[in-house]
Amino acid sequence: MNWFSGMWTISSIELRQRVRGAAWYVLLGVFAFIVLIVTVLTTIATSNSDAPGAVLYSLIVYFVLLLGTLVTPALSGNAINGDRDNGTLATTQVTLVTTGQLVIGKLLAAWITALAFLGAALPFLLFALALGGASPDTAIVSIVVLAAELAIVSAIGVGLSGLIRRPLFSVVVTYLVVAALSIGTLIAFSLGGLLMQEKVTVVNQVMDWDGSGEVDPETGLPVDPECHAESYEYTIPRFDRVWWLLAANPYVILADAAPAHLSRDGYPEDLFGSIKVGVRQVQLPPTPSEGYDECAMYYEGGDYTTPAEILAKTVPSWAVGLGLHVLLAAALVAGAIRRTHAPSRRLAAGSRVA
């Protein structure tokens, strides 16, 4: 038995246990029904747009990621310590299967289980592509990144199930880690930008109407206006200093990695593009308000930066975020392999051997 056949033996056993009950098929059916409702409503809402399939495709992909991050921790968070509690882990460890094959096999089974949701959504994704507007390159990249993120969530769950003795606690910790990446990064970004706010002083030249003398009857303005300076201060948040906190968010990674396609007017055509431009824009320093000169009768407004210019001026962050996720998942899986290794030199108090 080579290394991969041993790993696949563990995966196949794990998969048979997962799909043995009817609950798994009910869950997939409910998921497909919800995606169907989202597809119908979004198709009706975007029927008058130039690219109706673009928004629908992005929504379905994000929906699969959302459900995958909600369901996968429950399926993978007790993969190893659950077998230890049931007394079946030691039975597997006395076979020719190595600890690496055992842990990686369970990880592969959890990943395949998570990919089942992507498979259930595939007909709706093809329908969105057929509607028009969704680009093939965006579809390919988003599917690859989505599958990678599901693998990372599976690895986090399996890794923590090997490191933590109690199944319930490891599932909860897996949910906390996923929540920290999905929601915690957004909270940290918002708070970080507000904490780093700075004061800006604006100086306006205001006309002294009482001391300006004669008024031109044609324009209604003083012939020889007198102006004086008035200044005020306000604070602006510096989100550009903490934009990197968003790099670890799986939803941002997915949007930032997908190629952006702009319409004729220069605006993103799909949800991925809108999020990508939004998260890239926070990399740019804020432009303080320019003071106005009432005597010169002009107001210096801020320059408008187009989405294309924003994408050209900023750096992609998805590679950094995905790299951090891979390192986190690899570290947890490596720790689980080391902790599950048999014979073990030291067991935690209360650990069940068989």
Same domain, 236 and 133: no
Q: Is residue 346 part of a domain?
A: no
Whether pLDDT at 301 is above 60:
no
Give yes or no for a contact between 292 and 299, defined as CB atoms under 8 angstroms apart: yes
Same domain, 102 and 203: no
Same domain, 154 and 249: no
Give yes or no for a contact between 274 and 268, defined as CB atoms under 8 angstroms apart: yes
Task: For 315-336, write each residue's pLDDT tens digit.
Answer: 888 999 999 999 999 999 999 9
Q: Is residue 120 part of a domain?
A: yes
Q: Is residue 350 part of a domain?
A: no
Give yes or no for a contact between 174 and 208, defined as CB atoms under 8 angstroms apart: no
Same domain, 260 and 335: no
Q: Which residues contact 40 (CB under 8 A, 6 or more apart)?
A: none
Q: Is residue 84 part of a domain?
A: yes
Same domain, 80 and 115: yes
Same domain, 144 and 263: no
52-to-32, 40, 129, 273, 313 alpha-carbon distances in Å? 20, 12, 9, 14, 29
Same domain, 175 and 220: no
Q: Which helix (H) or strand (E) holds 337?
A: helix 318-340
Alpha-carbon span 12 to 106, nearest angstrom: 9
What three-state secondary structure class fits 245?
Answer: helix
Could you count the other beta carbons within 10 Å of the beta carbon of residue 274?
17
Whether pLDDT at 189 is above 80:
yes
Q: Pick the closest to residue 18 from 78, 64, 85, 93 (CA basis).
A: 78
Q: Is residue 209 part of a domain?
A: yes
- Cis ω before 343 (30° cut-off from 0): yes
187, amino acid identity: I
Task: For 248-297, write each residue's pLDDT tens digit.
Answer: 999 999 999 998 888 777 888 888 888 999 999 999 888 777 777 777 65
Same domain, 245 and 333: no
Task: For 79-125, write each residue's pLDDT tens digit.
Answer: 888 888 877 787 777 788 888 889 999 999 999 988 988 898 899 99
Q: Pick the closest to residue 79 from 2, 7, 4, 15 (CA basis).
A: 15
Q: Is residue 353 part of a domain?
A: no
Tell me the pTM: 0.83
What three-state secondary structure class fits 4?
Answer: helix
Range(s) of the domain holding residue 227: 197-313
Q: Quote the pLDDT of residue 344.
A: 65
* Domain tally, the chain: 2
Could you count the other beta carbons within 10 Å of the beta carbon of residue 311?
17
Q: Is residue 17 part of a domain?
A: yes
Q: Which residues pair with 230 in a beta bridge?
A: 204
Same domain, 238 and 152: no
Same domain, 208 and 327: no
Could you count the other beta carbons within 10 Å of the beta carbon of residue 136?
9
Q: Quote the pLDDT of residue 294.
A: 72
Q: Quote the pLDDT of residue 135.
A: 86
Same domain, 22 and 81: yes
161, amino acid identity: S
Could you count the other beta carbons within 10 Å of the beta carbon of residue 117?
25
Q: Is residue 60 part of a domain?
A: yes
Same domain, 230 and 292: yes
